[in-house]
Amino acid sequence: MQLTDAQLWAAALAVLLPPVIAIVNQPRWSGAVKGLFMLLVAAGDGLGTAYFNDQFTGKSIVTCMLTAVIVIGVAYHTLWKPSGIAPGIEAATSTGGRPSGPTSV
């Protein structure tokens, strides 16, 4: 099966999305919430790439979304998580939930 331009763009963008997702994700969120957010981002990736490549039809949209889901997951677990980049971004952009210890001057 030959990949379409929209699918290739969805995959290329999906490789770069885990750090962007990490900006929004919070360490205190459950794995299910983080996974749901990733699926929403992948859906946006698939919809956008299909639309901007003039391939906004049912099958093309679904394949772009599925391509984005797979590539985001693989890229996160093989590149961004082991390197510590995505978890570092997530920790750095966390809002609250940090232990408040005594401050020394």
What are the residue boundaries of the structural domains of the chain, listed by start?
Answer: 5-92
What would the mean pLDDT of 26-38 be, rounded to a whole number? 94
Report the predicted TM-score, pTM, of the whole model to 2 decimal places: 0.86
What distance in Å separates the CA atoms of residue 14 and residue 7, rounded to the nearest whole number? 10
* Mean pLDDT, rounded, of the chain: 91
Per-residue DSSP letters for 31-91? HHHHHHHHHHHHHHHHHHHHHHTT--SHHHHHHHHHHHHHHHHHHIIIIIHHHTHHHHHHH
What distance in Å separates the CA atoms of residue 22 and residue 11, rounded to the nearest whole number? 18
Answer whether residue 105 shows pLDDT above 80. Answer: no
Give the per-residue pLDDT at 8.
Answer: 96
